[in-house]
Amino acid sequence: MANDLKSRLAAGQTVLGGFLSLGDPLCAEIMARAGYDWLLIDLEHGAGGEREALAQMQAVAGAGCAAVVRVEGSARQRAHRVLDLGAHGVMFPRIDNVEDARQAIAAMRYPPQGVRGVAFANRACQFGSGMRAYMEEAAPRLLTILQIESPLAVDHAAGIAALDGADVLFVGPSDLSHSMGILGQFDDERFQTAVRRVSEAARAHGKSAGILLPKPADFDHYWDLGYRFIASGSDGVLLNHAARSLTALISEAARAKEKTARP
């Protein structure tokens, strides 16, 4: 099932995800059929909005891939909208402390545990046909992913991980390294110390650690550190790299042919 990420993580399995930044349902379907376990529809930095998010959720559904949405912040209305559209999980950016995390977790849960509004005429609840099943079976499996993107967040990682409902502590390497004054220097010992602290905090409280891999070859390193909620690749970046690689290859071949064909 698409919405089994939480149980798979609890069993210690690795779940592989990618980012959807173009807002296009056909790109989302291509990515879903490539074998990802989950795909993140990016409303923070991506090109699409909620309408595009819905189309992308529908596109990945047939491939058995989980749809996770990154919202712009922890305001409960932002999470509620994508949950009602059928998201299997929500990623919250810029979680710097325990109170930020509490607000995000509350947005994911119905009262009395949280503040999510009850509605049934939506896609998640099969437009009124599956409200009780959704509340009792699907909602408890929703994944709450809290982004650790600053030294302050690293300092509070243990407190964040201790919260009931904090399922994944997810390192955003670019933001974290930038906030540390070492943008992109992922081999720097200060950065490596930070990612170890996050993983250790998650493990100590029975939670999962996640990261967007700086490069695919880094998988072994971060897996050995305890990271299991792994992201690699995005639709825009993959398309850009593939197109540039192809044009460079053909252009080089054309230049070689033209050179030898000159009289």
Catalytic residue IDs:
45
Q: CA-based diameter of the chain, in Å?
A: 83
Count the helix, strand and coil residues of the chain and give each as a percent rounded to the nearest 5. Answer: 50, 15, 35
C-beta of residue 142 within 8 angstroms of C-beta of residue 105:
no
Encoding tokens for residue 229? 């909620």
Residue 123 corresponds to which amino acid? R
- Please list, in sequence order, all residues whose beta carbon lies within 8 angstroms of the beta carbon of residue 204, skipping any fewer than 6 positions away: 158, 161
Strands 227-234 and 208-212: parallel
State the DSSP code for 253: H
C-beta of residue 160 within 8 angstroms of C-beta of residue 169:
yes
At residue 135, φ and ψ (nearest 5 deg) are -65, -35
3-state secondary structure of 141: helix
Helix residue spans in 119-234 (DSSP H): 131-133, 151-155, 157-161, 173-179, 189-204, 219-224
**Which among 172, 165, 175 has a CA at the least distance from the CA of 208?**
165
Give 208: exposed, middle or buried? Use CB within 10 Å, 0-12, 13-18, 19+.
buried
